[in-house]
Amino acid sequence: MNMIKPNCRIQFTPEDIDFLISVLSKESDSSKHIHELLTDPDSIDILFDDERIVQAVLCRADNLKISPRFYFYVLIRHVLRKVNIDDREIADYLAELLSQYTNVNRSQQIMGTNNLKIEYIVDIMAAMEKVDANMQFYLQTFIGNYSLFLSGIFSDHIIHRNNYKAAPKIEYYEKLGESNYKLASSNLLASKHGIDNILFKLSSCFHNIRLALNDLSQRLLFLETPNYL
């Protein structure tokens, strides 16, 4: 599994750009203008934020020829702004996280462990005590990502299981994610990978990000609960 980084936008496909142009342009002149804006990094971000793109993604959900990265970025950016998180780097990171974590097999693979797969967070916590600082970074990052994914996308399932004493409260995942993101952000490897700042921001905003992802999963996104939950 690749290290998740806020680089989702640079991986958008030509089909993604064609979709954006088709939604925003109604005539040849505006289409030409949009093509010009697409060459400017600042302008292209503004185009991605256009509410018409969000509505087009939602209305055409069953017949879209866009990449998962574009799909997740547009919707995540939309729900984050509703909780006053106007940070494209966070939206970028989360879109990349979801594009990888919606693949069940990949979601359980931990980078830096020769594709080791761990099903339960308690197993990772136990392993943390037996590894060096570099491996701790990968485990901490994984726990942060995993906690955010579970508590954000599958909060209803966690709450349901907690009601039957079969899982911890959702606050447990919040605290676990916050603390491990913060620890990982201070590791030298975080700086080497260029994600120290984003990991710290994810730690600081974990609760509000989780609420935004809850909104995403309950209203706009429908994913089957993985069999390991």
Question: Residue 64: inside a domain, yes or no?
Answer: yes
| 70-78: Cβ within 8 A, 24+ apart | 70/12, 70/13, 70/16, 70/19, 72/8, 72/98, 72/99, 73/8, 73/9, 73/12, 73/48, 74/48, 75/216, 75/220, 75/221, 76/212, 76/213, 76/216, 77/48, 77/49, 78/54, 78/220
Residue 1: inside a domain:
no
Q: Could you tell me which residues come within 8 angstroms of residue 88 by beta carbon, excluding any fewer than 6 positions away?
A: 9, 45, 77
pLDDT of residue 29: 57
Spatial distance between the Cα atoms of 88 and 201, rounded to a whole number of angstroms: 12
130: in domain? yes
Confidence at residue 97, expressed as pLDDT on a 0 to 100 scale: 95
Burial of residue 130 (CB within 10 Å: 0-12, 13-18, 19+) is exposed
Decide if pLDDT at 108 tops 70: no
Across the chain, mean pLDDT equals 85
Instruction: Answer whether residue 40 is part of any domain.
Output: yes
197-222 residue pLDDT tens: 999 999 999 999 999 999 999 887 65
Instruction: Give residue 68's identity as a one-letter amino acid code.
Output: P
Full domain range(s) for residue 36: 9-220
For residue range 8-37, what is the model confidence (pLDDT) as tens digits? 999 999 999 999 998 998 655 577 778 788
200 within domain boundaries: yes
pLDDT the model gives residue 107:
46
Q: How far apart are CA 33 and CA 56, in angstroms?
A: 20
Residue 186 domain-assigned (yes or no): yes
- pTM of the full predicted structure? 0.87
Average pLDDT of the residues in 60-71: 84
Assess if residue 227 is contained within a domain: no
The tens digit of pLDDT for each residue in 115-133 reads 555 567 777 888 788 889 8
**CA 70 vs CA 36, 38, 40, 128, 197: distances in Å:** 20, 15, 18, 34, 23
**Within a domain: 225:** no
Quote the number of domains for the chain: 1
- Percent of the chain at pLDDT exceeding 90: 55
